[in-house]
Amino acid sequence: MKYSKTILIVDDEPRTREGLKKTLETWAGSSYEIVTAENGDDALAFIAERPVHLMLTDIRMPEMNGLSLIHAIKEQGRNPVVILLSGYSEFEYAQEGIKLGVVNYLLKPITKAKLIEAVEQALLVCDSRERAGTIEKIVDHQLMEAKQHDVRMPQPIQAAIQYVEAHVQLPVSLREVADHVHLNASYFSSLFKEKMGMNFSEFLTRSKIQAAKKLLLSTSLPITAIAEEVGYQSTKYFMTLFKEYEGMTPSQYRKDVPKGDIV
């Protein structure tokens, strides 16, 4: 069964650990995978092998406490949303948790209603992070940097940018765009490179690749169809360009990048 997200419960008390798991399994149904670890080392080993979206961890555990576990996870380059659990009202722990990005702090014993409310709120944070991460992966920063000053650019260059963005699904040519903005093709080419910091061909390709990345993450269209949607008749040529600019094939990109809600 493929779950949308994995929730990890880390607690050295078997009764508490299993109680939390049972409550969340009843609430989650088949939507989320609920797994447990009895100590920090087991949690680290699990997270090293598989993605964990939300972690609930006790603060006081032998050998590695909850805060040390969060530090170790961050050193692995992982960043699950975290809820801290404690049998004690320890404000200094809560403060340190906030610095580490913990989204909630629950005191034991935890009622089912409080637990589920906290988990639902934490999953919203998780969704928000995924959307932000996805948008970050889609955006071509060189393209954005080139375009960020477009309000101060000559009107023909602004018009050319708008034309490319409106016709990204077509095999647009430099001469076609130069004609559209009523400039000689050679002069337009020089002016575009001077003002944008990249030549027209690179701008066009980056625009098409960025549009393709959005389609790869927001649809299940085959690669051939996506190539056509961004104006490439040759799928092989599209794949070559994509790998040149992104360092991976379109299929690898679709597989490796987390899918948030694309807008």
Helix residue ranges, H only, 13-152: 14-28, 40-49, 66-75, 91-99, 112-138, 141-147
Q: Which residues does 202 contact at the CB level (< 8 Å), separation at least 6?
A: none
Indicate the DSSP class of residue 39. S
In whole angstroms, give the CA distance from residue 82 to residue 102.
Answer: 5
Q: Which residues does 142 contact at the CB level (< 8 Å), separation at least 6?
A: 198, 206
* Cβ–Cβ < 8 Å for 162, 223: no
∠ CA 184-189-191, nearest 5°, is 95
Report pLDDT for 258. Answer: 61
Report pLDDT for 136. Answer: 83
Indicate the DSSP class of residue 201. H
For the segment(s) 141-256, the CATH number from 1.20.1340.10, 1.10.10.60, 1.10.357.10, 1.10.3720.10 is: 1.10.10.60
In whole angstroms, give the CA distance from residue 74 to residue 247.
Answer: 25
User: What spatial distance separates the first Cα and last Cα of the chain, rounded to whole Å?
Assistant: 28
Residues of the chain with CATH 1.10.10.60: 141-256
Residues of the chain with CATH 3.40.50.2300: 5-133
Q: Which CATH superfamily is domain 5-133 in?
A: Response regulator (3.40.50.2300)
Positions of the chain with pLDDT under 50: 261, 263
Report pLDDT for 152. Answer: 74
Indicate the DSSP class of residue 112. H
**Which amino acid, one-letter code, is at 27?**
W
Report pLDDT for 263. Answer: 44
DSSP strand pairing (32-37 vs 5-10): parallel
Q: How many residues does the chain have?
A: 263
Report pLDDT for 261. Answer: 46
Residue 2 CB neighbour total at 10 angstroms: 5
